[in-house]
Amino acid sequence: MKDFFKVADLNQVLGHAAEFPVVETESVSLAETTGRILAQNILSDINIPGFTRSTMDGYAVCAVSTFGASEANPAYLTVKGAVEMGQAPDMTIGPGEAASIPTGGMLPDGADSVIMIEHTEKIDDTTIEIYKSVAPGGHVVEKGEDIKQGADVLSCGRQLRPQETGLLAALGKTSVNVFKKPKIAIISTGNEIISIDKKPEPGQIRDINSYSLSSLVETAGGQPVPYGIVTDNYDALFDACSTALKASDMLLISGGSSVGAHDYTVEVLSSLPDAGILAHGISISPGKPTILAVSQNKAVWGLPGHVVSAMVVFEMVVKPFIRRISGRSDFLKKGMPLPAILSRNISSAQGRMDYIRVRLTENGRDLLAEPILGKSGLINTMVQADGLIEIGTNTEGLNKGDKVNVIPL
């Protein structure tokens, strides 16, 4: 049963992302969390810091003892002892008293601030002169000032950066629950495609897509599972898809999705268990002949065989679906816009979203986006590209000097 070529727009297709279930979770040690997606909410069961700390080398004091102190009119304080790092001090500080304290040391009871060592002079073993006043709370971090006990600190679905890992360390989380990296199966189809270790005969080309798509899957947070090359044959493709889908959370098939003579992809995708075709064609360029199907609640993609088209569709369409099933709460969020000035006019067809490869240069003041022209089969145009610019559905083109937002590649 072959569906008709029915083109969906990009937002319609992206609207399906939320329909796919999120993968399972696993517990990993804190050292393995970089870039992973948190699968639990994190509450703080402690105050951070757990005690009021000095942020300077100096003397812990009652601020009131320093009021009015200046070079011309120093105040004199009695030193009751020294705070040791990592230990609770054994003295109490009252007005007119001080204790020497290192950066990070715990304030003694009674002290509410720290006077920096640079603003003091030692008179004798138990007396200092101070030349400056300090306000209550000066040069200290209060108990719980970083994180209050009981606070919600991190939410499920958040990607962990180095600072989130640091925060989890502060909370004593030696391991955390994260979402598993989704397994993304990759199949290349086409009778002209040969393994990269073979020398192409006339008419043959090496399998680029298995490698570029695997690498894209990795950068998107997935685990690529390449299944190699399948010839343009219904049974071969059906068997390969069935096998791949059983062992993975999503399937990418590149090639065989145009209205060509050897187009078995739609037929195969329609015959998979619990199958449905969600989109057959997307109104983007390059990348129009893209198929999104579902089988047993897993997304199955028929991507164009042209390498640039396959990469652009991955970046703009497939990636949000991988983020979705990876558990990311912000799976549809676009990256931050990187504004640049277009270096020349470019035309665009209405009724579709156009993605133009650009090279970025700086002219000292602005970033310039220079379009890279070239057919969507040319991998070298992607190697030269620093990013993509999007030309909207209702725009006929852009002019030299226009401000554009670049999607980095």
- Whichever of 43 and 383 has its CB closer to its own copies, that residue is 383
Total residues at the site for its own copies (CB under 8 A)? Answer: 103
Question: Is position 169 an interface residue for its own copies (rule: CB under 8 A)?
Answer: yes
Binding to its own copies in span 286-345, by CB under 8 A: 305-307, 311, 336-339
**Rounded-to-10 torsion of CA 242, 246, 250, 251:** -30
One residue of 129, 192, 267, 402 binding its own copies per CB under 8 A = 192
Q: How far is the CB of 279 from its own copies (least distance, A)?
A: 20
- Whichever of 116 and 278 has its CB closer to its own copies, that residue is 116
Kindly write out the interface string for residues 78-97 of this chain, putting x where it contacts its own copies by CB under 8 A and - elsewhere: ------xxxxxx--------
One residue of 278, 367, 368, 372 binding its own copies per CB under 8 A = 367
Range 46-81 burial, b when 16+ CB lie within 10 A, else e: ebbbeebbbebbbbbbbbebbeebeeeebbebebbe
DSSP letter at 169? Answer: H
Which part of the chain contacts its own copies (CB under 8 A), choosing from 2-10, 208-216, 324-332, 342-350? 208-216
- Whichever of 169 and 349 has its CB closer to its own copies, that residue is 169
Binding to its own copies in span 43-62, by CB under 8 A: 46, 48-51, 53, 55, 57
What does the alpha-carbon distance between residue 231 and residue 237 come to, in Å, rounded to a whole number? Answer: 7
Lookup: tokens for 379? 């991998």
247 contacts: CB under 8 Å, gap ≥ 6: 183, 185, 225
Coil, helix or strand for 215? helix
Helix/strand/coil percentages in the chain, nearest 5: 20, 35, 45
Q: How far is the CB of 65 from its own copies (least distance, A)?
A: 22
Question: Is position 232 an interface residue for its own copies (rule: CB under 8 A)?
Answer: yes
59 contacts: CB under 8 Å, gap ≥ 6: 77, 79, 98, 99, 100, 101, 114, 115, 117, 120, 128, 130
- Whichever of 33 and 295 has its CB closer to its own copies, that residue is 33
- Whichever of 131 and 211 has its CB closer to its own copies, that residue is 211
Kindly write out the interface string for residues 377-396 of this chain, putting x where it contacts its own copies by CB under 8 A and - elsewhere: xxxx-xx-x-----------
DSSP letter at 202? Answer: T
One residue of 71, 124, 152, 174 binding its own copies per CB under 8 A = 174
One residue of 136, 166, 228, 351 binding its own copies per CB under 8 A = 166
Q: Residue 251: how many CB atoms within 10 A of its CB?
A: 26
